């Protein structure tokens, strides 16, 4: 399970230093894709599960083959290096206009890397009461 809000700076090579819980969860490798307005990070198992759910949605007419193709082709394998860093693909960071100040958010079964300014904008006006009804 991936949780927490972790403020980070990417190094000159676009590497993200992972907190210990993320390092262990992603030690066997991971996949990165543009997800909404951020970079999503999934374990290999979670990426496969997401693709299977999307494939089922295509069969049920709830999604299109284009949706499946777009997400599947955007997944890029990444590995955690010996220092616990994950290299974020340059092309994906550029598509999102992501600066070197980022927020790594744990969102249960995935991580999300947000540009720090975008993260603040996303959370402006949201309150804790928004989730109280689910807890």
- Residue the block writes with tokens 């206009």: 97
- 46-59 pLDDT, tens digit per residue, is 999 999 999 999 99
Name the pLDDT band for 122 (thresholds 50, 70, 90). confident
Give the chain's domain count.
1
90: domain CATH number is: 3.40.1550.20
Predicted TM-score of the model (pTM): 0.90
Q: Which domain holds residue 74?
A: 5-132
User: How many Å apart are CA 71 and CA 15, to the nearest integer?
Assistant: 23
Residue 3 has pLDDT above 90, yes or no: yes
Per the CB < 8 A criterion, the answer to whether 1 and 108 are in contact is yes
Rounded to the nearest integer, the mean pLDDT of the chain is 93
């Amino acid at each position: 399970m991936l949780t927490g809000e972790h403020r980070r700076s990417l190094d000159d090579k676009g590497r993200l230093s992972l907190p210990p819980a993320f390092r262990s969860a992603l030690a066997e490798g991971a996949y990165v894709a543009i997800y909404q307005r951020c970079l999503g990070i999934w374990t290999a198992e979670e990426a496969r599960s997401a693709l299977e759910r999307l494939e089922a949605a295509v069969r049920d007419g709830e999604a299109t083959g284009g949706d499946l193709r777009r997400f599947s082709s955007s997944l890029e394998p990444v590995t955690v290096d010996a220092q616990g860093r994950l290299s974020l693909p340059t092309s994906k960071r550029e598509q999102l206009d992501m600066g070197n100040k980022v927020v790594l958010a744990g969102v249960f079964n995935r991580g999300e890397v947000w540009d720090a300014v975008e993260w603040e904008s996303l959370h402006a006006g949201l309150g804790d009461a928004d989730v109280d009804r689910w807890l």
